[in-house]
Homo-oligomer: A and B are copies of this chain.
Amino acid sequence: MTLYLIGMGLNDEKDITLKGLEIVKRSDKVYLENYTAIIHCKMENLERIYGKKVHLADRDLVEKKGGVLVDEASKGDVALLVVGDPVSATTHMDLLLRAARKGVKVEIVHNASILTAVGVVGLQLYKYGRTASIVFPQEGWDVHTPYDVVKDNKKAGLHTLCLLDIKTEEPSIEELRKETKNRGKPEKPRFMTVKQAIHALLDIEYKRKENIFTDETICIGCARLGSEKMKIRAGRAKELLAEDFGEPMHCLIVPGKLHFMEEEALELWKQ
């Protein structure tokens, strides 16, 4: 009679903790949340290791549908597997609140999150300011928030982690304008790349001209952190534009004031 939110870590089926695995094995139903992030392995691998059928949980199931998950957890043990740490996305905190309101017990099994895994780059985590999000450009939107976050952080000497947009199974704006019953298939998942993120910041720089993020700005592009296939490169924005970071997920770091040990760490990622 508990809703378990279980972190899966950053990469594949082996990133779950022993505690998380024990709970999955004894849960009545197991869901995998697959729209705020992706897991880099096949469902078969998950199901083989977990010894359980894993059901996909899309945004509709987690956020709408009158709290299906919460209802199910009032009758038995339900495990919702979440990539990263389950408390780092608003979505899952909302689910926790809905469960609390209905008197359903929630337990959380923490795991690695991109927010701390970026520590591998060598910039000290306590010197990061607010996290920025860079989203895909959308018709009628002109979002300068990430630029302002980088600006404020830089002014305070702090580093900025930019999380990059992911669109999984989202209907397009055009589709959303149609009546629900006439909507087509959702688009294929799209993951913003380091290159697209740099272009997004440069586009704002071009409009604002405040010299916050230019093609000379040193930054760090990361891909697939937490996996053996991770790639990290440090260099000027224009240099990183020429890099192919490969498969998702990517993120971008804009450093603030660098300590000499941080400088030394960045040397590891230059070419």
Report if A15-B21 is in contact (Cβ < 8 Å); known contacts: A88-B125, A111-B112: no
Q: How far is the CB of A36 from chain B (nearest CB, A)?
A: 13
Q: How far is the CB of A242 from chain B (nearest CB, A)?
A: 24
Q: A264: which B residues are within 8 A, CB to CB? A: 97
A217 within 8 Å of B (CB atoms): no
A119–B17 CB distance below 8 A: no
Closest residue of B by beta carbon distance from A115: B116
Report if A16-B14 is in contact (Cβ < 8 Å); known contacts: A94-B261, A110-B116, A261-B97: no
Q: A22: which B residues are within 8 A, CB to CB? A: 14
B15–A18 CB distance below 8 A: yes
A56 within 8 Å of B (CB atoms): no
- Number of interface residues, chain A, beta carbon within 8 A: 55
A125 and B90 CA atoms in complex are apart in Å by 9
Q: A120: which B residues are within 8 A, CB to CB? A: 87, 108, 110
Q: A265: which B residues are within 8 A, CB to CB? A: 93, 96-97
Q: How far is the CB of A252 from chain B (nearest CB, A)?
A: 15
B10–A14 CB distance below 8 A: no
A128 within 8 Å of B (CB atoms): yes
Q: A125: which B residues are within 8 A, CB to CB? A: 87-88, 115, 131
A176 within 8 Å of B (CB atoms): no
A130–B131 CB distance below 8 A: no
- What are the 10 closest A-B residue pairs judged by CB atoms, nearest first? A87-B119, A110-B112, A14-B19, A126-B131, A113-B116, A14-B18, A85-B116, A87-B120, A110-B117, A110-B226
Chain A residues within CB distance 8 Å of chain B? 7, 9-10, 13-19, 21-22, 49, 85, 87-88, 90, 93-94, 96-97, 100, 107-108, 110-113, 115-120, 122, 124-131, 133, 152, 156, 158, 163, 225-226, 228, 261, 264-265, 268
